[in-house]
Structure 1
Amino acid sequence: MPGAGATPEELLEIAVTVARGAAATASQMRAEGVSPVATKSTATDVVTAADRAVEQEVVAELRRLRPADRVLGEEFGAGGGEADPSAGTGAVRWVVDPIDGTVNYLYGLPQYAVSLAAERDGIVVAGVVVNGATGDEWTATAGGGAYRAGRRLTGSSETDLAQSLVATGFGYDAGRRAHQAGVLAGLISQVRDIRRFGAAALDLCLAAEGLVDAYYEKGLQPWDLAAGGLIAQEAGLRVDGLAGAPAGPDMVLAAPPALFTPLHDRLARLDAAGGP
């Protein structure tokens, strides 16, 4: 397999192979029934045995193929499942969300995905998002564009915020949800409509594809953003936070250049990056 100097394209090839296998495992485990279910930050923030099993599968495959690399996963942090947390010292770090959209997965809704990205020296250079329910797949490499099913993605051509379909999501903390509901109440009359699919990685891919015009959300973690954020950027979207801040836990806003500023300004006035 490609060594330490692997190109983004070579890293993407690995990511796609690993993510497809992980998505198949998630789909099979869903068909067999979801159990057991535990909670994380709040009673509504669920994690299933499949989340943990899929992440362990991804980590095991990555360490088999590229043992010097580091791995950051949602469920096990830098430890990567049951492997030695100190394993991997290379410049490449993989960032994995084994099942983005766990609540959808729990309920059998077809919006959940495996998200896998490769960072080199802290910069995401390759990423893939695979919808485990449908097999839909989005990919990108830094400087190489974003694609779905061989078609290069260019985002939405909409230029009027009032005619824009905007995707968003909500946190699990009750106080944060209340603040986000206030933001939404102030925004909804300024746009065509709002969509909430429940999987940030897929939201970013839908924005990249132009199936929604823009996306924003507070509370995203690196594994939520890494692959989908690169895909959105490579589709020509601007992916940032508010008031000059980078995209991160306080806010992720992904929109075509024509929509970014008006949506940014409205969200800033609504204090979308504030609250709990």
Structure 2
Amino acid sequence: MRDYVQTAEEAARRAGHVLRAWSSKFTVREKSRSNLVTEADEAAQAAIHDFIHGRYPHHGFCGEEGLSVAGNDSTYRWVIDPLDGTTNYVHGFPYYSVSIGLECRGEMIVGAIFDPIHDEMFLAVRGEGATLNRRPLRCSAINQLDQALVIASLPVNTDRHDEAVRRFLSVLPVAQAVQRTGSAALNLANIAAGRVDGFWSTSLKPWDMAAGILLVEEAGGRISKIDGSAFQLEVPNLLASNGLALHEQLVAALV
């Protein structure tokens, strides 16, 4: 397991260096309306894949920028988001990250999320806890929604009639603060760090969530669907919290 987490960390740092190097020279195109991609995304993903594949050539891969490799060993799959928060990156807003998770037989066992702007490396290992720059993490002790900072993730091209907007507005008057930040991976990492108390979305992909859900769980938090039922990585339905009574209060507000 130590080799896997060291590999995830090194790959994330390499991708972070790529993103910083590209930060003033990329061009942008739209995958769909308001869904952006840059050369930086693609170069960072290539750096991650090439480094990990060099160490574990038989492992599978799943990544945002069209990366899908079954691998000869179906036991392990690396789930990669080379740039989570592309729109923030494009605009120079310092809230984006690299996210790398390792799945073994359908269970996340290693997670790494790197914030290259603030040089923060979040790591988690199944059964061994979560850390930020080697310091142990623990979720917050906020137990009431009216004292909580929570984050919503809204879909690309959201209009006022979208169910996600209704959920946002239902929580807005009862939480202390509701934010929308643009990087799901960092949102989850910051729940693990005790900086954020809750986060929900119904529009994420596996690579947005893979590393972050392990960080939250290993820091004492809770992961479910927004109705409180069991979470599934392949289903875009996520509620993450510090694991206290706040979780059920969010469920009641969202459903």
CA contact (8 A) 2:191 2:197 kept: yes
Instruction: Give 2:238's aligned amino acid.
Output: V
Which of 217, 237, 246 is the matching residue for 2:231? 246
Which of 206, 214, 225 is the matching residue for 1:230? 214
Structure 2 counterpart SS, 1:58: helix
The equivalent residue for 1:60 is 50
Q: Which has the higher strand share?
A: 2
The equivalent residue for 1:263 is 250
- 1:142-181 aligned within 5 A: 142-175=126-159, 178-181=162-165
The equivalent residue for 1:186 is 170
| Cα displacement string for residues 52-84 of structure 1 (whole angstroms, at most 9, x for unaligned residues) | 1111111111111110111111111314xxxxx
Which of 2, 25, 46 is the matching residue for 1:33? 25
CA contact (8 A) 1:170 1:177 kept: no
Task: Give distance in 1, aligned partners of 2:252 and 2:82.
Answer: 34
| TM-score (norm. length: structure 2) | 0.94
Pairwise CA distance, 1:257: 2.4
Pairwise CA distance, 1:247: 4.5
Structure 1 stretches lacking a partner, 5+ long: 1-6, 80-85, 269-276
Structure 2 counterpart SS, 1:190: coil
Matched, 1:75 2:65: yes
Which of 114, 120, 142 is the matching residue for 2:104? 120
Structure 2 counterpart SS, 1:147: strand
Task: Give distance in 2, aligned partners of 1:202 and 1:125.
Answer: 18
- 1:189-208 aligned within 5 A: 189-208=173-192
| Cα displacement string for residues 91-119 of structure 1 (whole angstroms, at most 9, x for unaligned residues) | 11101000000000101111111100111
Which of 92, 95, 115 is the matching residue for 1:111? 95
Q: Identity across aligned pairs (percent)?
A: 29
Task: Give distance in 1, aligned partners of 2:205 and 2:146.
Answer: 29
The RMSD of aligned alpha carbons is: 1.6
Instruction: Give 2:239's aligned amino acid.
Output: L
Structure 2 stretches lacking a partner, 5+ long: none
Instruction: Give 2:173's aligned amino acid.
Output: S
The equivalent residue for 1:271 is none
CA contact (8 A) 2:58 2:71 kept: yes
CA spacing shift, 1:250–1:15, aligned 2, 3 Å: closer
Pairwise CA distance, 1:267: 0.8
| Cα displacement string for residues 176-224 of structure 1 (whole angstroms, at most 9, x for unaligned residues) | 8733222211111111011221100000011111111111111111100
| Cα displacement string for residues 139-165 of structure 1 (whole angstroms, at most 9, x for unaligned residues) | 000000011122211101011111111
Pairwise CA distance, 1:15: 0.4
Instruction: Give 2:251's aligned amino acid.
Output: H
CA spacing shift, 1:247–1:161, aligned 2, 3 Å: farther
Q: What is the total number of aligned residue pairs between the two structures?
A: 252
| Cα displacement string for residues 245-276 of structure 1 (whole angstroms, at most 9, x for unaligned residues) | 414544211112221111112111xxxxxxxx
CA contact (8 A) 1:71 1:88 kept: no
| TM-score (norm. length: structure 1) | 0.87
CA contact (8 A) 1:153 1:235 kept: yes
CA contact (8 A) 2:141 2:244 kept: no
